[in-house]
Amino acid sequence: MTKNYCKDEKSDHGINEMEQIHKALNEHAIVSTTDVKGNITAVNKKFCEISGYSEKELLGKNHRILNSDTHNDAFFIDMWQTITSAKTWHGNICNKRKDGQLYWVESSITPVLDSNRNIIKYISIRTDITYIKGLELELRKSESRFENAQRMVRMGNWEWDLKTNSVYWSDEMYEIYGCDKEIPIENHENVNKFIHTDDIDKVKSYEETIKSGFKERLSYRVIRNDRTLRYIMQHAEIKYDSNNEPAVMLGAIHDITEQVELEYKLSHQKAIFESMFRDAQDAMVMADTDRKIVMINPAFSKLFGYGQDEVVGRTSQFLYKNEEEYKQQGDKRFNNNTDAEYKNTGYEIEYRQKNGDTFISNTIGSILKETNGNTIGFLGNIRDITRKIQDKQLIIASKEEAEKANKAKSEFLSSMSHELRTPMNAILGFSQLLEMDYENNLSDEQKADVKEIKNAGEHLLELINEVLDLSKIESGGINIVLEDIDYLELVMECVSIIKPIAKKRNIKINITDEDIYSNNKLSLNADRTRLRQVLLNLLSNSVKYNKPNESIDIYCEKIKDDVVRISIVDHGIGITEQNLQKIFTPFQRFVDDDSAIEGTGIGLVISKRLIELMGGNIGVTSELGKGSTFWFEITLNYVPKIIKKIVTPLNKSESDKSCGDFTIVYIEDNPANLRLVSKLLSKREKIMLITAPNPEIGLELINVHLPQLILLDINLPGMNGYQVLSEIKNNDKTVNIPVVAISANAMQSEIDHAYKLGFVEYLTKPLNLSYFYEVIDKFRIKNDVL
C-alpha cells in the first residue's frame, strides 16, 4: 500500500489541520518526494495509479524511470537549474507509464531546505492533464488540417472587429496578400492598402452591403508587396452582438488568380479563333462527329451561297457534287482516320453551290479533339481552286506558246545567219582569193583596194555576228576557243580597221607601246575573233565619243605575272558617275537623242560578257568632258604554240577539167559558192572536182564516181544536206566516203548535230581558206595524194 507521503515527517500528534490539508492534497494530486539526486523517496497512491508502478517498484528508483523522451535536454537542464537554485519549478511534463503509455502532468517541484538552507529533498506535486493535452493536440491537429486545406486551395479567412477595428488574418491570408505574418495586419486600414485602387470603391460598398446583413461575394484585385497582382474572390457575413448591433465581420477569400489568367487565356484564344474563323479568306465549316454542320464562316457563305441558318444541323452531304465522293471522304477522312494520314493533307473535292454550280476545291480537314483525345468534330478549310487550275492551264499553254516562239526565233536567227552569211561568203571568199593573187595580175593599188573590200567585209560580218551574238549570249550558246594571240598584231589589225573612221574626225590613234612589243612579242590567251570584237568595239567607241582632232592611246601593262591590262584612252565627252554604274547594262546609251552618234547600246554588254567568258575583267574610269579610259584584263599565253603545217598551192589549172587521183564531189546550189570552191581547189594538184547543183544529181554522181571526199552544202533545195548524208550512209558502196559539210549555219547546236549524224568536218561560210585547205589536204594525205 502506498503510504501517506508525510507520515514519516510527522510525529504522531493526531490529525491536525496540516494533516487535513495533506490528506486533501493526497486525494487530489500526484505527490512524490525525491532526494537531491532525484531518487524517489516517497510516492502517494495517485502517483502509483497514474504511473502503473507499485510503491515498491518506485521507491529508491531515480525519477528518470518515468522519462518519456518527449522533452529535450534543455527542458531538464532548465528544470534542474531552477530547483537546485532553491526555486520552485512549474511546468508540464510528459511521463511514461509502466505499460509504455504516455501521460501528461502539470507539475510543481519544490526544494525542501534544512536550517542551513541546504536542499535536502524535493517535493513534486502534479495534476493529471493528459485529457486536456489530448484535447489540445486534437485542436492543434484540426487547426493544422484547416490551415493545410486553406493553403492547398489558396483560401484564407479573416475577422474584422467592427468596434475595435482590429483584424485577424489566417496564415494563408498573409500568403495570398504576400506579406509577412510576423508583422500582424492589426487594423482594417492596413488591409485597404493592398486593394487595387480601381477596386477600392467597390470593396467599400461591398462591406456596407455586408454590414446591412446581406451575404454576397465579391471579386477584386490586390497588389502585393512585391507589386504582383492577385485576383481574389471573397465571401463575407456579419455577426451581431447581444444588442443586435453588427459586431464582427467574417470573411473568407479565395485566390483565383490562376483561374482568372486561364479564363483570360481561353477568352483570348477564343477571340483569336473567332476572328480567324470569321475573317478567313477560305471557306471554313465545322461539323460534329455525325458530320452535321455546327458552324460556318462568312467566306463559306460567300462561296457556297448559304447562310448559317440554312446549313447548321444538316449533314454535309448536300455540299458535295456527288454522293460517292461524300461517302469516300467519310471513309477516308472521318471514319478510319488516323492522325498521320489526316494531318494537313489537302485534297481535291468538287462541291456544289446553292445555285447548283459546282467548283473544284482544295480542302484541308482537321480533326477536332478534346484534351483527353476524344474526337468532337471536324474542321474543313475549303479553297476554290477552279481559277488556279484554269490559270495553270493558261500558263502551260503560254509556256508552250513561248517555247514555240523561242523555236521560231532560233529558226529565224539561223536562217538570217544563213541568208546574211551566204553573200558574205562570196564577198570575203573572192576578195581573199584576189588578195592571194596567184597570177600576179593586180597592181599594188588594186591589192590595197581588195584589202579594203576584205576588211570592210570582215567588219560587216562582225556586225552581223554582234547581233547574233547578243541573242546567243542571252541563251548561253556562245563558244569560246582560247588560242595564242599576238597582242601587237591584233591591236594593229583593229587600229587599221578603225583608222578610216578616225581619220574622218581627225583623231589620231597611238599604240604607245608599239616599239616595246614589236621586238618583244606579247602572247595573249584568248579567242581571237572575240578579243578582236571587243577591241573593235572599244576603239570605235573611243572614236565615236571622242572630240574631233583629239587622240586615242592604246597601251598594255602587266598587272600580275600572267595578267595584262589593255587600256584605250580617249579625250572625249566622258561619262557621268551615275551613268558609269549602268554602262555595262544592255541598251543603255548616254548620248542626246538628237545626237548624230549612232549605236545600239549593246556593244559594251557583249564586250563585258566576252571578256568574262575568256576569264578576264573589263572596266572604265571617266571624267565628264575630259575623256574615258576603257580597259580589260586578259591572261597571258604560256601554252607552247602548235606549229601548223603550211600548205603550198600546187596546181594552178582548173580542177573541174583536170583528171586527178583525188576525186571530190561537191553538192551546192549557190553558183558563187560553187565557183569559189572550184577556184580554191584548182590551186591543188591531182584533184578532180565534180560539182552538182542539187542533191539528186549529186547522189547520182557519187554513185558513179565513188569519190574520195564529198563536200556537201546543208541548205539545199528539195532534200537537205542531212537527208543526202543519210542516203550516202545507207548505200553500201558509199557508206565509207568521208562527207564534209559546208554551211552558212554557224550555230554550235547545228554543228554538234552534224557531227552526230556522221559528217567528218563542218566548215562554216564564209570559208576560212587556210582551214579549208587544211581539211582538203588532210584527206589527200590519207589517200596518199599529196
Q: Give the nearest distance from C-beta 543 to ligand ADP in angstroms.
A: 9
Q: What is the DSSP letter of 62?
A: B
Distances (CA, A) of 687 to 191, 203, 653, 660: 126, 124, 10, 5
* 572 binds ligand ADP, rule: CB under 6 A: yes
Q: From CA 509, how far away is CA 496, in angstroms rounded?
A: 10
CA neighbor of 295 nearest in space, from 281, 279, 309, 280: 309
- Please state, as a whole number, how many other Cβ atoms lie within 10 Å of the Cβ of residue 159: 14
Q: From CA 247, how far away is CA 240, in angstroms rounded?
A: 5
* 590 binds ligand ADP, rule: CB under 6 A: yes
Q: From CA 670, how far away is CA 691, in angstroms rounded?
A: 11
Among 251, 603, 695, 707, binds ligand ADP (CB under 6 A): 603
Residue 668: φ, ψ to 5°: -155, 135
Residues 281-300 that bind ligand ADP (CB under 6 A): none
Residues 620-679 that bind ligand ADP (CB under 6 A): 628
Instruction: Indicate the helix (H) or strand (E) that contains 191.
Output: helix 188-192
Instruction: Indicate the helix (H) or strand (E) that contains 105.
Output: strand 102-113
Q: From CA 517, how far away is CA 677, in angstroms rounded?
A: 38
Residue span binding ligand ADP (CB under 6 A) among the ranges 356-364, 367-375, 391-399, 536-544 = 536-544
Residue span binding ligand ADP (CB under 6 A) among the ranges 65-73, 304-312, 317-325, 582-590 = 582-590
Residue span binding ligand ADP (CB under 6 A) among the ranges 461-469, 514-522, 602-610, 729-737 = 602-610
Q: Which is nearer to ligand ADP, 58 or 539 (CB)?
A: 539
Contact in structure between 538 and 488 (CB atoms under 8 Å): no
* 509 binds ligand ADP, rule: CB under 6 A: no
- Please state, as a whole number, how many other Cβ atoms lie within 10 Å of the Cβ of residue 102: 14
Contact in structure between 159 and 249 (CB atoms under 8 Å): yes
The C-alpha angle 173, 176, 177, rounded to 5 degrees, equals: 85
Residue type, 353: Q
* 543 binds ligand ADP, rule: CB under 6 A: no
- Which residues are paired to 291 by β-bridges? none
* 541 binds ligand ADP, rule: CB under 6 A: yes
Among 604, 665, 709, 775, binds ligand ADP (CB under 6 A): 604
* 570 binds ligand ADP, rule: CB under 6 A: yes
Q: Give the nearest distance from C-beta 544 to ligand ADP in angstroms.
A: 6
The three-state secondary structure class of 28 is: helix
* 589 binds ligand ADP, rule: CB under 6 A: yes
Among 33, 34, 361, 537, binds ligand ADP (CB under 6 A): 537
Q: Which is nearer to ligand ADP, 428 or 611 (CB)?
A: 611
CA neighbor of 352 nearest in space, from 295, 392, 391, 311: 311
Among 43, 93, 218, 575, binds ligand ADP (CB under 6 A): 575
Q: Give the nearest distance from C-beta 602 to ligand ADP in angstroms.
A: 6
Residue span binding ligand ADP (CB under 6 A) among the ranges 317-325, 471-479, 571-579, 655-663 = 571-579
Contact in structure between 597 and 520 (CB atoms under 8 Å): no
Contact in structure between 707 and 664 (CB atoms under 8 Å): yes
Residue type, 536: L
* 600 binds ligand ADP, rule: CB under 6 A: yes
* 234 binds ligand ADP, rule: CB under 6 A: no
Q: Which is nearer to ligand ADP, 603 or 616 (CB)?
A: 603
* 583 binds ligand ADP, rule: CB under 6 A: yes
Q: Which is nearer to ligand ADP, 522 or 552 (CB)?
A: 552
* 542 binds ligand ADP, rule: CB under 6 A: yes
Tell me how long the chain is. Answer: 786
HSE at residue 80, side-chain half, CA atoms within 13 A, is: 11
Residue nearest to ligand ADP (CB): 599
Q: Which is nearer to ligand ADP, 425 or 628 (CB)?
A: 628
Q: Give the nearest distance from C-beta 477 to ligand ADP in angstroms.
A: 21
* 533 binds ligand ADP, rule: CB under 6 A: no
Distances (CA, A) of 184 to 161, 384, 401, 588: 15, 69, 90, 88
Q: Give the nearest distance from C-beta 585 to ligand ADP in angstroms.
A: 9
Q: Give the nearest distance from C-beta 453 to ligand ADP in angstroms.
A: 25
Among 178, 330, 601, 758, binds ligand ADP (CB under 6 A): 601
Contact in structure between 654 and 678 (CB atoms under 8 Å): yes
Show the cell assigned to 211.
454590414
Among 83, 179, 364, 602, binds ligand ADP (CB under 6 A): 602
Q: Give the nearest distance from C-beta 582 to ligand ADP in angstroms.
A: 9
Q: Which is nearer to ligand ADP, 538 or 785 (CB)?
A: 538
Give contact residues for ligand ADP (rule: CB under 6 A).
537, 541-542, 545, 570, 572-573, 575, 583, 588-591, 599-604, 628
